[in-house]
Amino acid sequence: MHFVFITGGVASSLGKGIASAALATLLKSRNFRVRIRKLDPYLNVDPGTMSPYQHGEVYVTDDGAETDLDLGHYERFTNQSAKQTDSISSGKIYSNVLSKERKGDYLGATIQVIPHVTNEIKSFINSDIKNEDIIIYEIGGTVGDIESLPFLEAIRQIRNNKKISSALIHMTYIPYLSSADELKTKPTQHSVKELRSIGIQPDFLLCRAEREIPSDLLRKIAVFCNVPGDQVFQAVDMDSIYKIPLMLHQQGLDQSLVDNLNIWARSPDLREWYSIIERLDHPKQNIKIAIVGKYTDVVDSYKSIEEALVHAGISNEAAVSVVYVAAQDVIAKGPSVCLEGVDGVIVPGGFGERGTEGMIRSIEFARCQNLPFLGICLGMQLASVEVARNILGLHTADSLEFAPETTEPVIFLMEEQKGVTNKGGTMRLGSYPCVLAKSSKAREAYGKDTVMERHRHRYEFNSQYRSRFEEAGVVFSGTSPDDKLVEIFELQGHPWFVACQFHPELVSRPMGAHPLFKGFVFAASKKKQDKKSTRHTE
């Protein structure tokens, strides 16, 4: 077994997660059994209670872990599911240490970062390992941060053990100064110096830059950072993240890594990735999709949805451009202004009342204008409210989350959620089965009777209203196996009005678009083609 550690320097948000995922893809294409795990330095136990404005979306695994969005990149690139044990934070590490101290596991010792915290980190790194050939560990944060020091010290100790095969890739940033018309290497030099000051010498450097780095600068970086010249690589900005595996392969990163680890590897099979890039670069049409949400100032809040639309575009040979619409703007300007010219509307998940009326008006607009619509989690709940108010005539219909005193609670609190006070890890989380109704759009899209989908919510559709909805033309096309919980509903006679309680975006892949996104984008494409045909006829 071999460990690969990936650290970051100079600045945050360099794309370590995508680089880790791309590297894992290349190694998998060489027939290695690969796994990626994330070590995050923040003191939250997990990202579940973090605001999307601070940390982007919360990704959910099949087994119910609320994790960093990078695990989404891991899954999308490698096409394999992550687990709860693939992510840990400083908060969880310290929580484990303090729990052991309270139980007396340390036999009265004074608890210190070294060795107790670092031992806990090493314990995690070595835990739940089975038959993997290579495990990639991405360390969050930036070298020099106080929070990440225990993780780096643990890695130093692991790499100091000569019986363990490991490599360390340090990802840095090469800024371009327009006034000097130069790319600058000094920040990278200082970042490596910081890393070496704590006893870690990187084996590889991966240099992120906005433009191609000249070979003489790469040689300079190698000399000043004490890294072999053929182990310094560049990660230049690409127009699609799915081109990054091929970019790194063309530079020889995967071959250089396996040589460094002294392991034999077959040539990579990247035919599927070349096919994906071919479809990305040569779409047959362009469509525009609006995402109407409450966290649109930070687009990473909807990262998985955006990627799922890319995947659906690949499947439909279409280039999908996304327009982010703030739900509050819909209230102020009206949906006809905010959604002008779009070919489809998505209302995603979220928490809290802010912006919900704008989302409801957007749903009504999509329904009345026959615009393809996809509601996800909160989007499904608000679509239920919109239908109840404007089709069933239940004008006071609402969700108990926003209107506890409503007389028409079409969305209500799950029984097991009543009385819950802790916010972290207490929702309906992870993968659950969904039974699909025959002769429905959902059943046609999936092509099967039962599916597994990932959830993250507390509130549910109130089944006491099901018969009234069905009388109004609503099809409950997906339910729990016991038929008690509504998972999907759709409207008869609409090109595509489908809303689901789960998060389909979390299991979409570039090599296999999620059926609901694929069907949604197909409907949006057809809607645009019909518009063109109508204008041409006129």
Write out pLDDT tens, residues 494-531: 999 999 999 999 999 999 999 999 999 999 999 888 77
Distances (CA, A) of 465 to 38, 373, 387, 394, 411: 43, 22, 11, 11, 10
388 and 299 assigned to the same domain: yes
402 and 483 assigned to the same domain: yes
Query: Is 40 within a domain?
Result: yes
The amino acid at residue 458 is R
What pTM was computed for the model?
Answer: 0.93
Is 70 exceeded by the pLDDT of residue 413?
Answer: yes
Residue that terminates a domain, selected from 275, 310, 334: 275
Write out pLDDT tens, residues 53-101: 777 899 999 999 999 899 999 999 999 999 999 999 999 999 999 999 9
Query: Is 76 within a domain?
Result: yes
CATH label of the domain that carries residue 179:
3.40.50.300
Quote the CA–CA distance of 70 and 476 in Å, as a whole number: 33
Q: Which of 73, 494, 503, 514 is catalytic?
A: 503
Write out pLDDT tens, residues 366-397: 999 999 999 999 999 999 999 999 999 999 99
Q: Which of 226, 240, 177, 232 is nearest to 208 (CA)?
A: 232
Is 80 exceeded by the pLDDT of residue 533?
Answer: no
340 and 399 assigned to the same domain: yes
Q: Which of 338, 377, 434, 500 is catalytic?
A: 377
Instruction: For the chain, give the mean pLDDT.
Output: 92
Residue that terminates a domain, selected from 275, 297, 320: 275
Q: Does the annotation mark 505 as catalytic?
A: yes
Residue 230: which pLDDT band, with cuts at 50, 70 and 90? very high
Write out pLDDT tens, residues 181-224: 899 999 999 999 999 999 999 999 999 999 999 999 999 999 99
- Predicted confidence at residue 310, as pLDDT, reads 97
346: containing domain: 283-531
Query: Is 96 within a domain?
Result: no
Residue that terminates a domain, selected from 221, 252, 275: 275
Q: Which tokens in the block code for residue 227?
A: 């890294």
Residue 422: how many other CB atoms lie within 10 Å: 7
- Predicted confidence at residue 484, as pLDDT, reads 92
Q: Does the annotation mark 353 as catalytic?
A: no
Residue 447: which pLDDT band, with cuts at 50, 70 and 90? very high
Match 């010290």 to its residue by tokens.
153
Mean pLDDT of 6-24: 92
Q: Does the annotation mark 338 as catalytic?
A: no
CATH label of the domain that carries residue 409:
3.40.50.880
Q: Which of 57, 66, 460, 505 is catalytic?
A: 505
186 and 320 assigned to the same domain: no
Quote the CA–CA distance of 191 and 142 in Å, as a whole number: 9
Q: Which of 88, 56, 86 is nearest to 74 (CA)?
A: 86
Query: Is 100 within a domain?
Result: no
